[in-house]
Structures are given as C-alpha cells and as structure tokens.
A and B are shown apart, each in its own frame.
Chain A
C-alpha cells in the first residue's frame, strides 16, 4: 500500500480549501492509500468538536460527512500541537479519531516517500 498526505491549513477562513482538502483525502484513502490529513495553523479548528458541523460548500458534501467518512475508512487525522496550543485547543476538545502530534510525525511520514498536497 502506498501512502499519501493531505496538508490542510484553512478552516472557516477558507472553507472551500478545507472542504476540497478532505475530498482529496477521501479520494486517497478510497484508493487504498495509507492516508494522513495533517491539520496545521488555522486548519486545526477542523478537528475541534462541532466546529465543522456548519461547513457546507456548494457542490460538495458537508465537511462533517467528509471527515466522518475519511476516519471511518481508516484515514488518520493528525493535528499540529503548537497550532492547537496557540488557539487554546486541547485534546479533550478534539473529535474522535484526531490525534495531536508534533512535526516529527509529519517528517517521518514524508521522509518515507509519501507525496503531499497542501490546501
């Protein structure tokens, strides 16, 4: 199985990018790729419970459904630790299936040869 990384740096400041990032992540995990979404900077809000519930872009599935299907399919959601800290988001605020990590986790994933696309 190949691996794939989708880096998402936007939330409600650019819901179009946040949504398309998760659409691509679903495409990757649905194509049998070991897939991680890395949420950093504003993107970390997407992993906060309830935050994504009202993001529904025209022409796309609601973000909450994209998130749920991605996690259900075995995709991993990693959330940047210092980006959470800056925004006073802690582990108890996160949706089930999201994990707080630091940069080494991302470095390892990419150093093993994973492609990465950023939104």
Chain B
C-alpha cells in the first residue's frame, strides 16, 4: 500500500543554468553513470523544456519524465 520511493544513481540541481552551459555539464555527469541508471535533474531555465528532449534524441539518453523543473533521464547503453 505504501508509495514507492524513487531512487536515482545521481542527481543535479542546475538552478537557473541553461543552454550550452547546462548541456556540457550534464553530459559529463551522465558519463559517470552505468547504462540504464536513472538521473534526476532540476533545472529552472524555461529553455530546458525544449532542449532536454532534443539533447536526448541527439545523444541516445532517454528522457523518462519531464515535469519542469524536474526531469528524469535514463543513461544510454554506452554512456
């Protein structure tokens, strides 16, 4: 009956960071994950809503959930 507690391999509160500055830092943080691990990103920049799906399509990471400012990313097979 209890609610499931979500677990993440890592997470990052990017604050108001966005655009290229966020992307390059996110890349290095995802690189540290094993394939299939889950990452929680908090990002308040309004551009992230469009950017993150685009970035995931480009890189092969999977955007599991988009609930701005919270995003759940699943690391690709070859991080």
- Do A and B interact? yes
Range of interface residues on A (Cβ < 8 Å): 10 to 19
Q: Which residue of A lies closest to B19 (CB)?
A: A102
Q: Which residue of B lies closest to A109 (CB)?
A: B54
Main secondary structure on A side of the interface with B: helix
A108 and B54: CB pair below 8 A?
A: yes
Q: Is residue B18 contacting chain A, with contact meaning CB distance below 8 A?
A: yes
Chain B residues 1-60 with CB under 8 Å of chain A are: 16, 18-23, 45-48, 50-52, 54-55, 57-58
Q: Is residue A71 contacting chain B, with contact meaning CB distance below 8 A?
A: no
Chain A residues 66-113 with CB under 8 Å of chain B are: 78, 80-82, 85, 90-91, 99-105, 107-108, 111
A-to-B contact residues, CB < 8 Å:
78, 80-82, 85, 90-91, 99-105, 107-108, 111
